[in-house]
Structure 1
Amino acid sequence: MADDRFLHALPDPAPPHATTPVDRTGEDHPREPAVSVWTTAQISPAAQRKNRYVAESTAHPAKMLPAVAAHAITHYTDPGDLVLDPMCGIGTSLVEALHAGRRAVGIEYEPHWAHVTRVNLQRAHAAGTQHEGRVFHGDARQIGSLLPPEYLGQAALVVTSPPYGPSTHGQVAVAPGQGVQKYHHLYGNTLDRGNLANIGHHRLLTGFTRILTGLVPFLRPGGHIAITIRPWREHAELIDLPSQILACGLHAGLIPVERCVALLARAAETDLVPRGSFFQRDFIRKQREAGLPLHLIAHEDVLVFRTPLRRTAGSAIATDRPRSRRSPASRARHATNPSVSDSRAA
């Protein structure tokens, strides 16, 4: 998991005696030490969502595991803090925030999923959660005009994930004489070019950088952004999306502080037990038959950034590092191949 490009961007490590994290909660017992491997798939995704999410939630093509959101919320926030998700889908991060005693606000581009999020938030409130949960419908690239000013400087944590476009898996059904049919695997209308999932890889990176930049005013100083991402393959070529999203965060002026993995496999006594979908298993089988020794994906990367610890006298946040003048696409290329140079300025 070591990445020299990432580690060079980290602040100086804590002194050797600082083995227990600071307890910000005022409780008698400090929070558990942070670890880089999150055991977030020890029960199935269906079991994680049982009784917390309405049945319509299962149709979303790329749902975040509730345990991933819950782990981030537990480790980077305190009770009563505000959790924000600018691309909240069915509202997983918002629902888990409410159940953890936090406040929650999200944005969702597709109106259907914004409605499902509202229903899931209502279910959380019916279960006895006390804090506010809200979702706004719109394009997260316009976050400054979507969220009310009351949220400026308030969020302690952003938990989100970029869309994966055609690499989602969906669900399957078998019909007599029709073979295996794939469904619930697309983001809304594929002709909608306003949807980040439909605009191509490099435009996705540019749009996601814009979202990260727009998030900064809504985070408090030192607030964290946890992004779950995984690589995917196009024609057997690996697309290193985690490194490219790291470049997007740097371009947005964020400070990388951790790179973790969230398990998508159960940690058994001696090995990992993957929870791959039908299409993942079918793809791996075909690739192995063709001579390419691939394995099922067992984890997602989690990149954790933070905002600077102080603000300037104006409205902008002071940066702790000089910002690169490379474009997001150039930063993405440089992250995956440091030997590539680009003389263009943004």
Structure 2
Amino acid sequence: MTSAQFPNPAQPAHRRTEGTPVADDRVPHALPDTPATPVPPRADDPAQYVPRAVPGDPGGAFSRASERATDGSVQEPAVSVWTTAQTSPAAQRKGRYVAESTAHPAKMLPAVAAHAIAHYTQPGDLVLDPMCGIGTTLVEAVHAGRRAAGIEYEPHWVDVARANLVLAHHAGVAHEGRVFHGDARQIASLLPPEYLGQAALVVTSPPYGPSTHGQVAVAPGKGIQKYHHLYGNTLDRGNLANIGHHRLLSGFTRILAGLVPFLRPGGHIAITIRPWREHAELIDLPSQILACGLHAGLIPVERCVALLARAAEHDLVPRGSFFQRDFIRKQREAGLPLHLIAHEDVLVFRTPLNSLSSRKLKQLQREPKWSSASLSGLDTGVRN
């Protein structure tokens, strides 16, 4: 990886164009290879250029011509591998998240959210997360100079997400951050009408793979005890994590469809997902979520991977949890040659370029569900 190029997504000149379509009827363009004079890598850059095979190019040849934006500026090549685990999860959250955040069973890596925000938005843009948990997307967005709003179903995590936004505010961040409490499947009755057609980006992740989450403790005479590995009350059927897999997919499709009116034309939705195993069988959740996006009317534009392992010079250094390592060990003892999953899939969709008509927006705003009573007590926000 010593010769790899590290684009800097924080600089406007380095903003990338959309990558290879994963499900489109248009023929994707070839991606440029590494330039003859590579830019020296920076240790804090999250993106590493990895050439991708291009459909319709069986010879594997890449165009040497640089991609150019409409204004004539040279664009960095799109990347498909995000090196988002160069530092540990604890180091990424240190100082930005309250201690209570640790207990959440499925936290997104801050570097993953930050990478997506840097690539698909500009300062001042609105970023949403309909299943925001401890508010990782929101915190990273406001620290990057964006506005942010999220929805969370479980009251405890609503409080934690709001506390994390307050922490950002105390650190000098003055950008708006808001958390709403409710079921994201009812998103039209939770977000205020002024957000319609405004969001540049959604960053979110569905609940998945409970065996991959949690904390451990060792007590004398009791062995290893697992805790903080469940999504709230397991009897609460309103929580997507507690319903059957097919109903989870149906509910997530409904959430994606509900987000469309709130996104601006061409706005992006970045979804992080990882497969998991049940009884040694791999559950291909990324492909299922791709189908959800298509059913919701979204246009898929990229399929990337966000590393959960540190990229060293010649290999990957895993950061698997105790439960992941224990599961792999037991499966190998049973004769199944499994390996630690070292990345999350990132599916990137966008909305159509044609916007909702002003008449349609006014109709949505006049819906009876928009009432001050429905929003009271939900907005805690930290804003100017």
TM-score w.r.t. length of structure 1: 0.85
Contact conserved, 1:10 with 1:257, CA < 8 A, in 2?
no
Separation in 2 of the partners of 1:31 and 1:231?
Answer: 32
Separation in 2 of the partners of 1:225 and 1:162?
Answer: 13
* Letter aligned with residue 360 of structure 2: S
Separation in 2 of the partners of 1:167 and 1:18?
Answer: 46
Contact conserved, 1:23 with 1:31, CA < 8 A, in 2?
no
Which among 293, 299, 311 is matched to residue 337 of structure 2? 293
Q: Does 1:9 align with 2:62?
A: no
In structure 2, relative to structure 1, the CA distance for the partners of 1:123 and 1:14 (3 Å cut) is: same
Separation in 2 of the partners of 1:43 and 1:154?
Answer: 33
Q: Deviations over 1:184-220 (max 9, x none)?
A: 0001100000000000110000000000000000000
Separation in 1 of the partners of 2:356 and 2:215?
Answer: 49
* Letter aligned with residue 7 of structure 1: V
Kindly state the Cα deviation for residue 14 of structure 1 after the two structures are TM-superposed.
4.2
Contact conserved, 1:87 with 1:107, CA < 8 A, in 2?
yes
Contact conserved, 2:209 with 2:276, CA < 8 A, in 1?
no
Partner of 2:108: 64
Separation in 2 of the partners of 1:31 and 1:93?
Answer: 26
In structure 2, relative to structure 1, the CA distance for the partners of 1:212 and 1:8 (3 Å cut) is: closer
RMSD over aligned CA atoms reads 2.0
Partner of 1:22: 69
1:155-194 alignment runs, 5 A limit:
155-164=199-208, 166-194=210-238
Q: Which SS does the other structure have where 2:69 is aligned?
A: coil
Partner of 1:101: 145
TM-score w.r.t. length of structure 2: 0.77
Separation in 2 of the partners of 1:162 and 1:310?
Answer: 27
Partner of 2:274: 230
Separation in 2 of the partners of 1:248 and 1:146?
Answer: 22
Q: Does 1:82 align with 2:126?
A: yes
In structure 2, relative to structure 1, the CA distance for the partners of 1:18 and 1:209 (3 Å cut) is: farther
Q: Does 1:315 align with 2:360?
A: yes
Kindly state the Cα deviation for residue 31 of structure 1 after the two structures are TM-superposed.
6.9
Contact conserved, 1:21 with 1:33, CA < 8 A, in 2?
no
Structure 2 unaligned segments of length 5 or more: list them. Answer: 1-20, 31-62, 362-384
Kindly state the Cα deviation for residue 96 of structure 1 after the two structures are TM-superposed.
0.2
Q: Deviations over 1:44-70 (max 9, x none)?
A: 000000000000000000000000000
Contact conserved, 1:73 with 1:157, CA < 8 A, in 2?
yes
Separation in 2 of the partners of 1:252 and 1:88?
Answer: 20
Kindly state the Cα deviation for residue 13 of structure 1 after the two structures are TM-superposed.
2.8
Q: Which SS does the other structure have where 1:7 is aligned?
A: coil
Q: Deviations over 1:217-266 (max 9, x none)?
A: 00000000000001111111111000000000000000000000000000
Q: Which SS does the other structure have where 1:315 is aligned?
A: helix
Separation in 2 of the partners of 1:218 and 1:87?
Answer: 15
1:137-152 alignment runs, 5 A limit:
137-152=181-196
Contact conserved, 2:211 with 2:324, CA < 8 A, in 1?
no
1:183-222 alignment runs, 5 A limit:
183-222=227-266
* Letter aligned with residue 44 of structure 1: S
In structure 2, relative to structure 1, the CA distance for the partners of 1:146 and 1:30 (3 Å cut) is: farther
Q: Which SS does the other structure have where 2:24 is aligned?
A: coil
Contact conserved, 1:246 with 1:303, CA < 8 A, in 2?
yes
Contact conserved, 1:10 with 1:256, CA < 8 A, in 2?
no
Kindly state the Cα deviation for residue 125 of structure 1 after the two structures are TM-superposed.
1.1
Separation in 2 of the partners of 1:174 and 1:22?
Answer: 56
Kindly state the Cα deviation for residue 22 of structure 1 after the two structures are TM-superposed.
3.5
Contact conserved, 2:23 with 2:300, CA < 8 A, in 1?
no
Q: Which SS does the other structure have where 1:95 is aligned?
A: helix
In structure 2, relative to structure 1, the CA distance for the partners of 1:10 and 1:227 (3 Å cut) is: farther
Q: Does 1:112 align with 2:127?
A: no
In structure 2, relative to structure 1, the CA distance for the partners of 1:127 and 1:31 (3 Å cut) is: farther
Contact conserved, 1:87 with 1:109, CA < 8 A, in 2?
yes
Kindly state the Cα deviation for residue 315 of structure 1 after the two structures are TM-superposed.
2.8
Contact conserved, 1:165 with 1:198, CA < 8 A, in 2?
no
Contact conserved, 1:77 with 1:156, CA < 8 A, in 2?
yes
Contact conserved, 2:209 with 2:275, CA < 8 A, in 1?
no
In structure 2, relative to structure 1, the CA distance for the partners of 1:88 and 1:312 (3 Å cut) is: closer
In structure 2, relative to structure 1, the CA distance for the partners of 1:245 and 1:193 (3 Å cut) is: same
Partner of 2:88: 44
* Letter aligned with residue 315 of structure 1: K
Q: Deviations over 1:255-286 (max 9, x none)?
A: 00000000000001111011001110000000
Over the matched positions of the two proteins, sequence identity in percent amounts to: 84
Q: Which SS does the other structure have where 2:360 is aligned?
A: coil
Structure 1 unaligned segments of length 5 or more: list them. Answer: 1-5, 317-346
